[in-house]
């Protein structure tokens, strides 16, 4: 079954108030075109989750699409902090459930395995746990080990309404490869009700079948497939293209203030009709070709 649709069509299926898990990690494999389209369509009150906070989540927060963020810390790597996320926490417009990265991965894993809860040691005695219990008291509980009688901290599983995952390769049915680091993406997909795959390349299903061990996301978990080259720009996609350092610097500076962020959104999100116009605005194919990965190095 061919599941290929436009980005706009895929985003339209996400109602306001949904829980969306996104695949980005700092400035790598972020769902940037997706985030911009969500903002353009005026989708609001989202719960967004990801293991390590990244540029896609920061853009969604800056665009006013997010009510609650679940994440395990994060940054724009060497380019600075997640300014929109931090500002939202400071001014009270964003509910932030701050975890450790490990505890986020555990919560996705519990959802993926269909568990009612998952025990964890690492949060006990931490300020992270104290804050989490204040902001989201239903996210944690204590249980007794039936074998030893020891008390354990337990985490509620995460079950997002939809996972949105940036991948290098997929077929029209949604079978997808993630080349390089996967982080928590596989568990995100398994924990979610459905998945939207955004792929740099679409290949025939027979090519996927030649190397079935490379399929990280099976098609039966996927509701929509979007073919959109450079859809993670300005972040990187391993073996496809490097991050755009100049544009990330531009974003990081703009995001420091509400006025700067509004100007960025007006130019690069609201000021373009779609992803293709955005790519022209950031320099077109001549600029994008300079970011294309070396076939040997992968970046």
The residue with tokens 């009700």 is 193
Sequence ranges of the domains in the chain:
4-98+159-290, 116-155
What is the rounded CA–CA span in Å between residue 165 and residue 240? 15
What's the distance, Cα to Cα, between the start and end of the chain in Å? 33
pLDDT band at 128 (very low <50, low <70, confident <90, very high): very high
* pLDDT at 295 exceeding the cut of 90: no
Check: CB of residue 196 under 8 Å from CB of residue 232: no
Averaged pLDDT for residues 100-128: 97
Separation of alpha carbons 197 and 252, rounded Å: 27
The predicted pLDDT at position 105 comes to 97
| pLDDT at residue 299, as a whole number | 76
**Is 115 exposed, middle or buried (CB count within 10 Å of its CB: 0-12, 13-18, 19+)?**
middle
> Cβ atoms within 10 A of the Cβ of 1, count?
6
Residue by residue, DSSP assigns 175-229 as: -EE--S--TTHHHHHHHSS-EEEEEEEE--HHHHHHSGGGEEE-GGGEEEEEE-T
- Please provide residue 5's backbone torsions phi and psi, each rounded to the nearest 5 degrees: -135, 175
Cα–Cα distance between 299 and 285 in angstroms, integer?
A: 17
Q: Residue 154 gets which letter from DSSP? A: E
**297 pLDDT higher than 90:** no
**For 158-217, what is each residue's pLDDT tens digit?**
999 999 999 999 999 999 999 999 999 999 999 999 999 999 999 999 999 999 999 999
Residue 125's closest CA among 136, 115, 117, 133? 133
**Does residue 111 contact residue 221 with C-beta atoms inside 8 Å?**
no
CATH 1.20.20.10 at 4-98+159-290, yes or no = no
249-269: pLDDT as tens digits: 999 999 999 999 999 999 999
Token pair recorded at residue 170: 């997929």
Distance CA 265, CA 164 (A): 21
296 pLDDT tier (thresholds 50, 70, 90):
confident
Q: Give the pTM.
A: 0.97
Sole residue written with tokens 């061919």: 2
d(CA 213, CA 157): 27
Could you give the C-alpha distances from 19 to 8, 64, 68, 232, 268, in angstroms and in order? 18, 15, 9, 21, 25
């Amino acid at each position: 079954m061919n599941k290929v649709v436009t980005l706009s069509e895929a985003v339209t299926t996400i109602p306001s108030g949904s829980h969306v898990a996104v695949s980005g990690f700092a400035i790598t494999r972020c769902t940037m075109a997706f985030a911009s389209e969500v903002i353009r369509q005026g989708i609001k009150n989202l719960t967004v989750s990801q293991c390590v906070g990244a540029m896609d989540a920061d853009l969604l927060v800056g665009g006013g699409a997010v009510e609650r963020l679940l994440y395990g810390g994060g940054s724009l790597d060497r380019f600075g902090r997640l300014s929109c996320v931090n500002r939202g926490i400071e001014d009270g417009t964003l509910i932030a459930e701050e975890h450790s990265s490990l505890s986020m991965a555990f919560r996705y894993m519990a959802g993926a395995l269909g568990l009612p809860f998952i025990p964890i040691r690492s949060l006990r005695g931490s300020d992270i746990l104290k804050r989490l219990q204040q902001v989201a008291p239903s996210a944690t509980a204590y249980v007794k080990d039936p074998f030893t009688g020891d008390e354990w901290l337990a985490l509620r599983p995460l079950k997002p309404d939809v996972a949105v995952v940036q991948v290098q390769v997929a077929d029209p049915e949604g079978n997808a490869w993630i080349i390089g680091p996967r982080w928590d993406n596989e568990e995100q997909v398994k924990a979610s009700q459905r998945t939207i795959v955004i792929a740099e390349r679409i290949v025939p299903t027979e090519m996927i079948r030649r190397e079935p061990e490379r399929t990280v996301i099976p098609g039966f978990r996927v509701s929509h497939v979007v073919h959109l080259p450079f859809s993670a720009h300005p972040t990187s996609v391993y073996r496809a293209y490097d991050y755009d350092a100049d544009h990330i610097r531009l974003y990081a500076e703009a995001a420091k203030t509400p006025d700067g962020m509004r100007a960025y959104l007006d130019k690069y999100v609201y000021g373009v009709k779609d992803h293709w116009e955005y790519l022209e605005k950031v320099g077109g194919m001549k600029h994008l070709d300079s970011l294309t990965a070396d076939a040997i190095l992968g970046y």
